[in-house]
Amino acid sequence: MKKILAIEDNAIIVRILQQHMKNAEFSTAIHPAESVAKATEEKPDLILLDLMLPERSGFDILHDLKQTAATKNIPVVILSAIGSEEDIDRAKQEGAVDYIIKGMESINAVVAKVSKVLGEEVLQKEPIDGTTTARSSMRERKVISGIKRKVVLFVEDDLFLVHAYQDILEENQSIRVWIAQDGDQALSYLTKQPPDLILLDLMLPGKSGFEVLAAIRKHPVWKDVKVIILSNLGQPQDVARATKLGITDYIIKANTRISDVASRIEKFVSAE
């Protein structure tokens, strides 16, 4: 079994990677100070490195990895939200073998790239090509080869997370996923066609999730659409406020497995 070290401070992203790479042994380094030491000790077959880390830049860690005798030959794949041409060029000059921008590719596309670098499949099944699906427009998502699918709208600005859900849910031929990255885009989608279920984050750019939820409940056409809160805001006052506005369920991201959330979504959609 191949060993992968993820140098990443976002626990949700690490969990997504672990759940989708069942044939790999995962370890993590959360704090930059421990990264090179852990890589030296564990000698992983591949390192996944975020560039936006507390205390030190991922570029500094990449430099140290490539300057350390015990780690310089370990392949490093950058997995980061930043992705300018300058960043990509710099990472490759420093020795990274590939560069993946979070949110630009689906989780299965990420798994396929990791498998290619390792020379071994790390997914328990053949990965689907999520790149086209992840980037398809709302209109393209409505073309469903003669099968009427239930539509689930994710209102979430973390595309890496949403694409992980999308890959799981769209394996079910009865579900189609739409993605809105902010409240205004979500309300625009609702104007065109209300979905069967909405997964709503509360922390969004622009309008908050509470504002979006309130707008949905005040609208004569949308007011009965099922809404599940999927957020890391989990204080009792947050839950009470959302419940008062009218929700179907409240899920805290960090406390719930991706597969469990997907199962709950499928349950609510199939109940209609």
CA nearest neighbour of 238 among 256, 224, 252, 227? 252
CA pair distance 172, 188, nearest whole angstrom: 26
Residue 217 domain flag: yes
Domain at 17, CATH number: 3.40.50.2300
With tokens 């279920």, the residue in question is: 197
Give pTM, 2 decimals: 0.66
118, 148, 166: which is the final residue of a domain? 118
Q: 100 φ, ψ to 5°?
A: -115, 125
Average pLDDT of the segment spanning 29-45 = 91
Same domain (yes/no): 104, 178: no
pLDDT for the residue numbered 87 = 95
Pairing mode of beta strands 226-231, 46-49: unpaired
Of the given ranges (72-76, 144-148, 230-234), which has the lowest mean pLDDT?
144-148
CB atoms within 10 A of CB 173: 10
Average pLDDT of the segment spanning 190-196 = 94
CB 151 within 8 A of CB 94: no
User: Cβ contacts of residue 44 below 8 Å, gap of 6+?
Assistant: 3, 4, 5, 27, 74
CA pair distance 128, 123, nearest whole angstrom: 11
Q: b/e for 148-158, b at 16 or more Cβ within 10 A?
A: ebbbbbbbbbb
* Number of domains, the chain: 2
Q: Quote the domain boundaries for residue 248.
A: 136-270
Same domain (yes/no): 111, 159: no
Same domain (yes/no): 141, 111: no
With tokens 């506005």, the residue in question is: 245
CA pair distance 62, 78, nearest whole angstrom: 9
Confidence of residue 147 (pLDDT cuts 50, 70, 90): low
Per residue in 210-222, pLDDT tens? 999 999 999 999 9
User: Cβ contacts of residue 209 below 8 Å, gap of 6+?
Assistant: 155, 183, 200, 201, 202, 203, 229, 231, 242
Paired with 191 in beta bridges are none
Same domain (yes/no): 167, 262: yes
Residue 128 has pLDDT above 60, yes or no: no
Residue 124 domain flag: no
Confidence of residue 20 (pLDDT cuts 50, 70, 90): confident
Of the given ranges (103-107, 175-179, 190-194), which has the lowest mean pLDDT?
103-107
CB 33 within 8 A of CB 58: no
Amino acid at 69: A
Confidence of residue 272 (pLDDT cuts 50, 70, 90): low
Residue 106 has pLDDT above 70, yes or no: yes
CB 269 within 8 A of CB 175: yes
68, 92, 118: which is the final residue of a domain? 118
What is the rounded average pLDDT for all residues in the chain? 86
